[in-house]
Amino acid sequence: MVTLCKPAVAVPEYVITMEETLELCRARHAGHPQLPLALRLIGNTGVTRRHIVQPIEETLKHPGFEERNALYEAEAKARVPAVVKEALHNAGLRPTDIDMIVYVSCTGFMMPSLTAWLINSMGFPSHTRQMPIAQLGCAAGGAAVNRAHDFCTAYPDANVLIVACEFCSLCYQPTDLGVGSLLSNGLFGDAVASAVVRGRGGTGIALERNNSYLVPDTEDWIAYSVRATGFHFLLDKRVPGTMEPLAPALRELAGDHGWDAGDLDFYIIHAGGPRILDDLSHFLEVPPEEFRFSRSTLTQYGNIASAVVLDAVRRLFEEGGLKEGARGILAGFGPGITAEMCLGRWTNGHPAYEPDLNARRIVGYASRRPAPARTAA
């Protein structure tokens, strides 16, 4: 049984409230012809506060892409290890029990990926597989869960560590003045999240089925324009309406599994904005309260990109979990327009997989030693 265990989530210490965001927008864009629209859109997000890796005074500066990316790397190395340790503790595992690390981030760039640094600095085995995912944006949280599910299905003794590191504030571009950019400036926040997917044992969401779906001809609706000044986020005004074509994909995934997507026990949905949750409530015919975990993440942290779904799962755990066998869906949405979806049941724990402390775990490799010679009876 492949199980997504309790995630660990950390947000930076610097906070900007909704009131401060609106006041900054008024002060910096006083002559903007669409300022009233931008203020209304930001206010309608329902985001009360966001956490950022620098004081807002520093965030509003643009020292250049090189310096920003260096800050991304420094902040990732400073903040990720503690979250990883907590996630391992939640799963009852050690670094030596991990067979693959899936690292997702769309707000900075490193090569080699942070996975190499984690392996070298935190005691993960040198044969740990690395799967960095950089270009799925907010959908990458769901993709990370799905790729971990696939790996543990192929190798049932395996364990996968997921890490989502998103410092959206480092992508702020002071010269981007479109309404979509102004809205983004009031919507996105920073966070680091981590979780373990166990091939055997563990308490959490026992993953059963996953799938992806791409809405045709929407690849330019959410995008980066990569320039000398860094990543410029492009957000089309049609994006809030994407749940109409995506809700049927959720229904199809559930239907193929013999479930009704409108009659499940829990919903972990990427909260890109309030309309996503409102529309899914309508199209799936689900009470709005069913999206409370995702809405809480949006309200308290803003859109934290790929980390949203992991934080929503954390909130499910902290509410007390669910009864054994409770059915649910997890979905992340992002550029493409892409949906990464999976189905699972709540499990309150099964006998944990206990690795041989004296064994060198290399899951998925066949022995290269020749088979012993057979002797005649």
The residues carrying an active-site annotation are: 138
Q: Minimal CA–CA distance to 277: which of 321, 312, 306?
A: 312
Sequence letter at residue 57: E
Phi-psi domain of 258 (left: phi exceeds 0; alpha: psi -120 through 50; beta: other) = left
Q: What is the DSSP string of 6-49?
A: --EEE--SEEEEHHHHHHHHHHHTTT-TTHHHHHHHHHHT---E
Residue with tokens 């709540």: 346
Query: Is there a contact between 4 and 145 (Cβ–Cβ < 8 Å)?
Result: yes
Task: Tell me if residue 216 falls in helix, strand or coil.
Answer: coil
Quick check: helix, strand or coil at residue 184? helix
H or E, element range at 121:
helix 114-122
Residue with tokens 């760039």: 109
Buried b (16+ CB within 10 A) or exposed e, 56-70: beebeeeeebeebbe
- Count of C-beta atoms within a 10 Å radius of residue 101: 27
The amino acid occupying position 213 is Y
Q: What span, in angstroms and rounded, lies between the C-alpha atoms of 40 and 18?
A: 12
Distance, CA of 306 to CA of 193 (rounded, Å)? 9
DSSP three-state, residue 269: strand
Q: Tell me the C-alpha distance between 97 and 82, whole Å.
A: 17
Contact 171, 192 (CB under 8 A): no
